[in-house]
Amino acid sequence: MQILNKSLEDLNISSNDEVNEKLKIFFEEISFASKQFNLTGLNGWEDIRDTLFIRSFRYSSVIDKFFSKDQYLESEKIKILDLGTGAGIPSIPLKILYPNMNIKLVDSSEKKCHFVESVIEKLNLKNITVENIRAELLGISSDRESYDIVLTRALAKLPTLAELTLPLIRKNGIVVTAKGLLPSQELKDSEYVLSLLGSSKSQILKITEPNFISEDNFIIWVKNNKTHMKFPRRNGLPKKDPIIKSS
């Protein structure tokens, strides 16, 4: 817990005993469930602490640059979506830090949704919902263009990700995704689809703190215009046939 608390300090995030206790329970739940089914490839406290918890905390440093902490922690005001949440990453570690955050977790895997639902109950988290649905269908549901912030990690390559996420955010909303090393080719490949979907160019924010784990390059998209109703295309197409214009 010492390393975890030091990491939070490095990221200018205050912590307390309750945060530590809840992260410990979350770790135990992940470890237990990982033995039952394919939840995450990670094993052991250090890996889960570094890759799942600390790297999730880094999202908060990115959001800070676009919304004031008070604003996005204010429960009803800012609507956040964690798309392709898997074991609850990055949203559950963030929610443990910021209990008032208003967030929805979405995953196409029913098992993973059940897992995060049980964690939410165990940790007694409020203002948090889970939906088992594919991003392509969520994008044409009443959730379309309703989110202020969409967070994702390890969901898809950038051109696919753009089509899955941008229809879901409102004008001036942001999409934030963590990539480790700078994904130069993916950035280039996504330029065309971003303009098609109403987003400005990718902004990149490198977060190196805490520096004992490798850096993350966060890709941020700000939406300038509404997305045409023909996006997202039907299930599976954004991944199978990503929109890339060769120059």
- The residues binding ligand SAH (CB under 6 A) are 40, 84-87, 89, 106-109, 112, 134-136, 153-155, 164
Coil, helix or strand for 190? helix
Nearest residue to the partner ligand SAH, using Cβ: 86
Element (DSSP H or E) covering residue 10: helix 2-10
Q: Which is nearer to ligand SAH, 35 or 247 (CB)?
A: 35
Question: Residue 101 CB, nearest distance to ligand SAH (Å)?
Answer: 16
Q: Which is nearer to ligand SAH, 43 or 68 (CB)?
A: 43
Choose among 144, 147, 165, 134: nearest CA to 234. 134
Q: Which is nearer to ligand SAH, 45 or 74 (CB)?
A: 45
Question: Residue 24 CB, nearest distance to ligand SAH (Å)?
Answer: 19
Choose among 15, 202, 69, 56: nearest CA to 5. 15
Residue type, 234: R
Q: Which is nearer to ligand SAH, 9 or 47 (CB)?
A: 47
**Locate tokens 């197409």: which residue?**
237
Q: Which residues contact 95 (CB under 8 A, 6 or more apart)?
A: 101, 103, 125, 128
Residue type, 88: G
Q: Which is nearer to ligand SAH, 74 or 144 (CB)?
A: 144
Contact 119, 95 (CB under 8 A): no
**Residues 26-52 as b or e (16 or more Cβ within 10 Å = b):** bbebbbebbeeeebbebeeeeebbbbb
How far CA 222 is from CA of 11, 85, 207, in Å, comes to 23, 21, 19
Question: Residue 17 CB, nearest distance to ligand SAH (Å)?
Answer: 26
Question: Residue 52 CB, nearest distance to ligand SAH (Å)?
Answer: 6
Question: Residue 83 CB, nearest distance to ligand SAH (Å)?
Answer: 6
Question: Residue 153 CB, nearest distance to ligand SAH (Å)?
Answer: 4
Q: Which is nearer to ligand SAH, 14 or 41 (CB)?
A: 41
